[in-house]
Chains A and B, each alone.
Chain A
């Protein structure tokens, strides 16, 4: 007969199904979600305020730390913005190296995600395989940049390290192995009946809703809309790279899996092309200390979608205003739409479906440094 009224169920900030602290208040009627209210901000570190208090040179270290997975996307976006304000041209070799690094980052982020969604679907074997194979990319990062997680490869005026011909060969060999594994994942996610049953028609986002709610990245593309900053508003060397913008018409978690896995194949192609056509010359130019007054909007396609930085300078060594909009925040309205009308049991897999990165999203408010962040309030 059902209940006379709905029940409110708090979910998070500390919850076994969430990998990062965030709070969602679900209104449920029996087993069906009828409403959801998100409350974000549990991992705020005040990065926007900190950027305004730091010099441009210092800012790149802060940008590196906005997110642990998309550090290259954020530093690339930051460096682009500041370089535009400074009026300096980055050498072509640096742009190619930035492209290679951005795509390696997409490979490691997407394989991390394939593992996570497999885990949420109860398919832990795939989770283990995906994370094992992801080590190949992390090891490459260590050799290329010196760091597995934070790479600090981008700097104002170019990149910090070159890619030698021997290193390029190592990357090619690693990609050959990784390509074989990715093909295997594509086969598994498309044919494994339990995975299909767990992801098909789960977390549906219709194309009209995806466009109206301004979703970004694979979440948008899995709803059949061809939106990709790399193609629409090319940056670094993407205008010289051959690649397809992958979309899926299934509009559900399965579509999001398919889009990300196929994107990994495209990324492998981009890296190979960039290594093959790597221009000769310097990989870094000197950046001035002070920046003339001005403003600019910089965008990159992070693994989770469009990332935007806005910078306003006032002629000093520190920005007057610096704004960061990470892709997860843009996907929150779409996520809330997906979560209404579903079964409570599907909440974790739908949340994982947008590949949320809450610390990327929560970046702008000052919370005490050390100790108290992420506490339930």
Chain B
């Protein structure tokens, strides 16, 4: 047992592919061409507009998403928060007729540049959806699948356990990894989806109202995991729950539509404390104090 463990440790330290520390050192070298490894990255968005066919859903949004922070996006329904979020890992364009304009830089890389590979981007920028959507496969396979298709060559059992632990669901499922992920409760399914996202070792995690379909206890568990997640990842979360945004986020962006039929705008973006205590604009204040929406 002991000897097995030491052997594992030795192979781990010998194989540079599996040592995140090595990659971190490399990326601190002066002006690296592309960010490598799974170090958390910030996202810089400049003049982003998103369309569904001829309909403009978001117009000219710019913000700076800080690495290793939680950024919350709030605003009334239909104001483009989710659309904006989906532009950050090029999931917006999988909807027929949908497209985005503008510049989104992940670290140093423009993800909408010509030749930028959406499949690679989505591995680096993971996404958790509003409705839990586990695959109709075993719990183990739900977590392992994404890592396998992305060519993970390390110890799969360790990765699955680590991911499930980070998503705070390991204790609940460790005895039934071979059972279907569909048999879990809604809150467990959502944490399984978080684990599945973590297993591909992304740099950024996007969450689209991850707790809106869950009960308060499950919501609490998800929020607790988020606190842990931001130590290693950059987290962007869309939420309708203002208290949630205030509780968990460091920065908050408020999306708003002034007139019916207009595209959604990023109305105000600042530190969460500022947005909730002393926002610059009246609409933001009305919204966060619950005067409308």
Same complex for A and B? Answer: no
